[in-house]
Amino acid sequence: MQGEDYTPRLLPSGEQALTFQISEAVDEGANRRIIALAAALDRAIAAGEIAGVTERVPTYRSLLVRYDPERIRGAALGEALLALHAGLEARAETGRLWRVPVHYGGPAALDLESLAAEKGMTPDELVALHSGAEYRVYMIGFAPGFAYLGGLPGILHAPRLPQPRQLVPAGAIGIGGKQGNINSVAGPSGWRFLGATPVRLFDPRRADPFLLEAGDRVRFEPVDAAAFARLSAEAEAGSALIAPEEAA
């Protein structure tokens, strides 16, 4: 990580949050650095070095830190974050790896045929490209457990639909611009969808309601309709279906 490329800006987000921003673009290096900063902040809080932080939200390019002004002032928190950022070690963190089963077909494959045609390839070729890449969770946001993925092969980049669909099911696997995603909950979306995973990224009934974290890696593994149905039933019964492989 080359810190000199990412000059921090401290932006107030009201009087109970500040945005520690190091880039204005989608940038894997910036994202790695933000996730490392979030981890460093967690360690500093656990060590009792920083008090009064109530939440932190890593995004593509910035870390939103919420705080309680009765316990820490924004100016002091900003100084502490600058010091943590300056002290980040120049090593590439490798996140946990999740192997996510995907059925490229069925009712969630809303755009598989049309997108393949647009790209001048067969659906099988598109699936091979999509499931052959390794993705990185840039950010969890928008809705509970919703994962924004970087690492989509350039040939698969595709603009969003001009008119969002009203209801796309939970688990749908999509493409929006240069990003991939896994829908965590059913809802409206203008992304292009290729299929669905039986894995529920968010299920409040589970002991661990969330699976992915920013910085994790994801690989998609094609499964057929029968396996999808069987796994969906297991997920419905409360199984997470998958566990991460810890980083080496």
Stretch that binds other proteins, among 109-117, 119-127, 128-136, 208-216 (CB under 8 A): 208-216
Interaction of residue 176 with other proteins, rule CB under 8 A: no
Of the candidates 169, 105, 106, 163, the residue with the CA atom closest to the CA atom of residue 131: 105
Q: List Cβ neighbours of 187 (8 Å cut-off, separation of 6 or more).
A: 143, 167, 168
| 8 Å CB contact between 219 and 99 | yes
Give me the least distance between CB of 93 and other proteins, in Å please: 16
Q: Pick from 7, 51, 73, 134 the residue near other proteins by CB under 8 A.
A: 73
Q: Pick from 60, 98, 104, 228 the residue near other proteins by CB under 8 A.
A: 60
Cβ proximity to other proteins: between 145 and 198 the closer is: 145
Residues 119-158 that bind other proteins (CB under 8 A): 139-146, 148
Cβ proximity to other proteins: between 62 and 232 the closer is: 62
Interaction of residue 69 with other proteins, rule CB under 8 A: yes
Burial of 52 (0-12, 13-18, 19+ CB in 10 A): middle
Q: List Cβ neighbours of 41 (8 Å cut-off, separation of 6 or more).
A: 50, 53, 56, 63, 65, 81, 84
Give me the least distance between CB of 115 and other proteins, in Å please: 23
CA distance 231 to 138: 26
Q: Pick from 6, 8, 21, 198 the residue near other proteins by CB under 8 A.
A: 21
Cβ proximity to other proteins: between 138 and 228 the closer is: 138
Interaction of residue 45 with other proteins, rule CB under 8 A: no
Report residue 48 CA to chain centroid gap.
Answer: 29
CA distance 245 to 97: 5
Strand, helix or coil for residue 183: coil
| Cα-based distances in Å from 61 to 14, 76, 85 | 19, 22, 13
| 8 Å CB contact between 81 and 37 | yes
Interaction of residue 244 with other proteins, rule CB under 8 A: no
- Single-letter code of the amino acid located at 52: G
Interaction of residue 245 with other proteins, rule CB under 8 A: no
Interaction of residue 24 with other proteins, rule CB under 8 A: yes
Q: Pick from 204, 207, 226, 237 the residue near other proteins by CB under 8 A.
A: 204
Interaction of residue 189 with other proteins, rule CB under 8 A: no
Token pair recorded at residue 191? 């992304």
Cβ proximity to other proteins: between 123 and 150 the closer is: 150
Cβ proximity to other proteins: between 112 and 147 the closer is: 147
Summarize as ranges the residues that interact with other proteins (CB under 8 A).
11-17, 19, 21, 24-26, 38, 54-64, 66, 69-70, 73-75, 139-146, 148, 184-185, 202, 204, 209-210, 213-214
